[in-house]
Amino acid sequence: MNLYSVLEGGFPCEKNTIAIETHEGYLYTWKELESTVNRYANFLTDLGLPVGARIATQIDKSPEALFLYLATLKAGFVYLPLNTAYQAAEMRYFIGDARPSVVVCSPENLHIIHEIAQQNAVEHVFTLGMNRDGSFVQRSCSCSEDFETVHRQDDDLAALIYTSGTTGRSKGAMLSHANLISNAQVLHQFWKWQSGDVLLHTLPIFHVHGLFVACHGALLNGSKMIWLPKFDVQHLIRHLPQATVLMGIPTFYVRLLAEPSFTCDITSNMRLFISGSAPLLTETFNAFKEKTGHTILERYGMSETIMLVSNPYDGDRVAGSVGIPLPGTELRIMNEVGKPCKVNEVGNIEVKGPNVFKGYWNMPEKTKEDFTADGWFKTGDMGRWGGQTSAGAVPDNYLCIVGRSRDLIISGGYNIYPKEIESYLDELSGVAESAVFGVPHTDLGEAVMAVIVPKPGFNLRADEIIRSMNQKIARFKVPKRIELVDELPRNAMGKVQKNLLRQQYSG
Ligand code: MLC
Ligand code: AMP
């Protein structure tokens, strides 16, 4: 079944009510949402694209961007959203790897995206701006406002979500209609979406969290979304009194708590604060509860599986734990010798369920490597059942994430693989070698740091290296701090000891 049909089943019968209210005060009714989605779906269909065609987008967040996603589903194509921070080299990789039939970019990037698209034989390039502008909007203007949802098989792809790779090469996680349908329905029930709910949407919509978890929840519930173009603490505070549900990353809660105008009164209409994508510190959980009386519900997910585990809606929400596996998701923690861990024993988290993706795009070997012979997906996260946290005992059936088996940094909810950043640093003139790792950061959870060994005779400067990296890769990946050293610490096998570097610079 097509995911769009399931989401549409939740739309209210009264089509003149508001589906989306933007920060600037623009209102979009459900009728407008549906007619725009239909126009966009007709436009895509009229292009005569092949079955399974990818529609790649690198566009700013706007209601029209959401409609384009929904139109892609409805027309039966595969949606491929890309972070707006990606620069030319990164876009070249994604477009070259995914081979989309259509790329939609922001008007400002048309020049460079057009060139990349041409090099990769992409047939169609359109633009979509923040203000209902761009060639995609113009060209679809005259299309019909009726469109019959295209039938899809459960296993047909609905979306391709790129997630950073340990080797430095990003991997496209293939998510099917059935993956997304099952997760949306489970979360709708588990978090008890109710009539009258209003979602305050302030996450980016090029990742699982903002696009699927947040939007699907509201759409399936026929709930209005207050649509902010990006996270801004003042805007959030202004709109919270009209909302009932917020989904955020820990940074959102840290920033709210640091803001003097954030008071308990502002949250009195709220039903549910959810946190995920990165670990929520117990001190943030406690401070939020103390200030507002609300207990943040923390959950755990990833691009390959959408949501896996969540603290309960009615039962205990435990600080330092991500909760219990969602209905339909099986989760096991395996130790070094391949046996299930006992309570309080740390091991590798593996999962199975209708939400688990179909594999990595064009990477059968990598897909094989990441699944066990009996079909469990190896998440790369390390965890334990129960045990103790600084807040006290955790129930035995609750999961605590304690780290990652992969060398990965999570900064403000974005995954950054050190290997990728090291490869860019090592290409710079005068760099002999580099080591990239995460250091604690009060706002972002972790920040990227690099230690660099210059080649003999080169007089490198940290600020110049940062400037040069800013021109090459998405700025959120650029090290916030760089230290120049004579040599990197290595163990007897010659491997760089990042744990020592992390310790040394985590002050
Ligand atoms: C922005 N910057 C970051 C950053 N975001 N640096 C490191 N990490 C980040 N996450 C940098 C910019 O490049 C810029 O650098 C400077 O900070 C200011 O940019 P900004 O755009 O004004 O930043 P800000 O608005 O403060 O954004 C920070 C943020 C944002 C945390 C609000 O990054 C955000 O919305 N993150 C959400 C990520 C998310 O949705 N993750 C879900 C993934 S799905 P310069 O050099 O130009 O000054 C997933 C699965 C699951 O993980 O379980 O959900
Ligand atoms: P991504 O690949 O961008 O989808 O990021 C998924 C990763 O984010 C997971 O594998 C975890 O490492 C991390 N993650 C998501 N939610 C949480 C959470 N609540 N606590 C700790 N880590 C999390």
The CATH number of residue 441's host domain is 3.30.300.30
Instruction: Tell whether the model's pLDDT for residue 424 goes beyond 70.
Output: yes
Shared domain for 192 and 339, answered yes or no, is yes
Sign of CA dihedral 379, 381, 384, 387: negative
Name which of 228, 214, 210 is nearest 22 in CA terms. 228
Name the domain count of the chain.
Answer: 2
The CB of 411 under 6 Å from ligand 1? The reply is: yes
Q: Is residue 322 part of a domain?
A: yes
Name which of 376, 394, 375, 374 is nearest 384 in CA terms. 394
Backbone angles phi, psi at 136, to 5 degrees: -65, -45
The CB of 244 under 6 Å from ligand 1? The reply is: no
Indicate which atom in ligand 2 lies nearest the CA of residue 408: 12
Q: Atom 54 (ligand 1): residue with closest C-alpha?
A: 277
Shared domain for 253 and 345, answered yes or no, is yes
The answer to whether residues 340 and 333 touch, using CB atoms and an 8 Å cutoff, is yes
Average pLDDT over residues 276-300: 97
Q: Is residue 396 part of a domain?
A: yes
Indicate which atom in ligand 1 lies nearest the CA of residue 302: 50
Name which of 71, 296, 272, 74 is nearest 188 in CA terms. 272
Q: Is residue 359 part of a domain?
A: no
Shared domain for 435 and 493, answered yes or no, is yes
- Per-residue confidence (pLDDT) for residue 432, from 0 to 100: 96
Q: Is residue 175 part of a domain?
A: no
Name which of 39, 97, 115 is nearest 70 in CA terms. 39
Ligand nearest to the CA of 248: 1
- Rounded to the nearest integer, the mean pLDDT of the chain is 96
Instruction: Tell whether the model's pLDDT for residue 507 goes beyond 80.
Output: no
The CB of 414 under 6 Å from ligand 2? The reply is: no
Q: Atom 2 (ligand 1): residue with closest C-alpha?
A: 476
E-strand ranges in 157-296 read 157-163, 171-176, 198-201, 224-227, 245-248, 272-275
The CB of 81 under 6 Å from ligand 2? The reply is: no
Q: Is residue 17 part of a domain?
A: no
C-alpha pair distances (Å), 120 with each of 97, 100, 105, 174, 363: 9, 9, 15, 21, 19
Distance CA 23, CA 478 (A): 30
Ligand 1 pocket test, candidate residues 476, 477, 480, most atoms within 8 A of CB: 476
Ligand 2 pocket test, candidate residues 174, 277, 299, 357, most atoms within 8 A of CB: 277
Name which of 192, 199, 233, 174 is nearest 20 in CA terms. 199
CA of 254 to the centre of ligand 2 (A): 18
pLDDT band at 454 (very low <50, low <70, confident <90, very high): very high
The CB of 302 under 6 Å from ligand 1? The reply is: yes
Q: Atom 1 (ligand 1): residue with closest C-alpha?
A: 476
Shared domain for 381 and 463, answered yes or no, is no
Shared domain for 399 and 456, answered yes or no, is no
The CB of 313 under 6 Å from ligand 1? The reply is: no
Look up residue 206 and give its amino acid. F
Distance CA 100, CA 102 (A): 5
Shared domain for 318 and 186, answered yes or no, is yes
Shared domain for 306 and 325, answered yes or no, is yes
- Per-residue confidence (pLDDT) for residue 404, from 0 to 100: 84
Shared domain for 399 and 413, answered yes or no, is no
The answer to whether residues 176 and 355 touch, using CB atoms and an 8 Å cutoff, is no
Shared domain for 220 and 334, answered yes or no, is yes
Characterize the bridge pairing of strands 414-416 and 431-441: unpaired
| H or E, element range at 250 | helix 250-258
In the three-class reduction of DSSP (H, G, I as helix; E, B as strand; rest coil), residue 268 is classed as coil
Backbone angles phi, psi at 10, to 5 degrees: -95, -10
Q: Which has the minimum average pLDDT: 113-127, 399-413, 432-446, 450-464?
A: 399-413
Domain encompassing residue 415: 409-505
Give the DSSP letter string of 283-346.
HHHHHHHHHHS---EEEEEETTTEEEEE--SSS---TT--BEEPTT-EEEEE-TTS-BPPTT--
- Per-residue confidence (pLDDT) for residue 405, from 0 to 100: 79
**CATH number, position 243:** 3.40.50.12780
The CB of 405 under 6 Å from ligand 2? The reply is: no
Distinct helix (H) and strand (E) counts, the chain: 15, 24
Instruction: Tell whether the model's pLDDT for residue 167 goes beyond 80.
Output: no
Name which of 183, 184, 162 is nearest 174 in CA terms. 162
The CB of 92 under 6 Å from ligand 2? The reply is: no
Ligand 2 pocket test, candidate residues 211, 251, 281, 302, most atoms within 8 A of CB: 302
The terminus-to-terminus CA distance of the chain in angstroms comes to: 52
CA of 410 to the centre of ligand 2 (A): 8
Among 388, 406, 424, the domain boundary falls at: 406
pLDDT band at 494 (very low <50, low <70, confident <90, very high): confident
Indicate which atom in ligand 1 lies nearest the CA of residue 232: 25
Distance CA 364, CA 359 (A): 7
Shared domain for 262 and 223, answered yes or no, is yes
Q: Is residue 209 part of a domain?
A: yes
Instruction: Tell whether the model's pLDDT for residue 335 goes beyond 80.
Output: yes
Shared domain for 393 and 415, answered yes or no, is no
CA of 300 to the centre of ligand 1 (A): 18
Sign of CA dihedral 212, 213, 214, 219: positive
The CB of 163 under 6 Å from ligand 2? The reply is: yes
Q: Atom 25 (ligand 1): residue with closest C-alpha?
A: 231
* Residue reference for tokens 């589906």: 19
Q: Which has the minimum average pLDDT: 159-173, 280-294, 456-470?
A: 159-173
Distance CA 3, CA 175 (A): 11
Q: Which has the minimum average pLDDT: 49-63, 103-117, 300-314, 404-418?
A: 404-418
Q: Please list, in sequence order, all residues whose beta carbon lies within 8 angstroms of the beta carbon of residue 141, skipping any fewer than 6 positions away.
A: 39
The CB of 404 under 6 Å from ligand 2? The reply is: yes
Query: In which order are the strands placed within the sheet that holds 347-352?
Result: 330-334, 347-352, 377-389, 392-404
Q: Which residues pair with 433 in a beta bridge?
A: 453
Q: Is residue 25 part of a domain?
A: no
Name which of 162, 275, 155, 251 is nearest 208 in CA terms. 162
CA of 414 to the centre of ligand 1 (A): 7
Instruction: Tell whether the model's pLDDT for residue 333 goes beyond 80.
Output: yes
Q: Atom 9 (ligand 2): residue with closest C-alpha?
A: 302
Ligand 2 pocket test, candidate residues 161, 349, 381, 446, most atoms within 8 A of CB: 381
Query: In which order are the strands placed within the sheet that holds 224-227?
Result: 27-29, 18-22, 224-227, 198-201, 245-248, 272-275, 297-302, 306-310, 324-325
The CB of 278 under 6 Å from ligand 2? The reply is: yes
pLDDT band at 166 (very low <50, low <70, confident <90, very high): low
Give the tens place of pLDDT for each residue, 70-97: 999 999 999 999 999 999 999 999 999 9
The CB of 298 under 6 Å from ligand 2? The reply is: yes
Q: Is residue 440 part of a domain?
A: yes
Ligand 2 pocket test, candidate residues 203, 273, 300, most atoms within 8 A of CB: 300
Backbone angles phi, psi at 19, to 5 degrees: -95, -40
Shared domain for 397 and 487, answered yes or no, is no
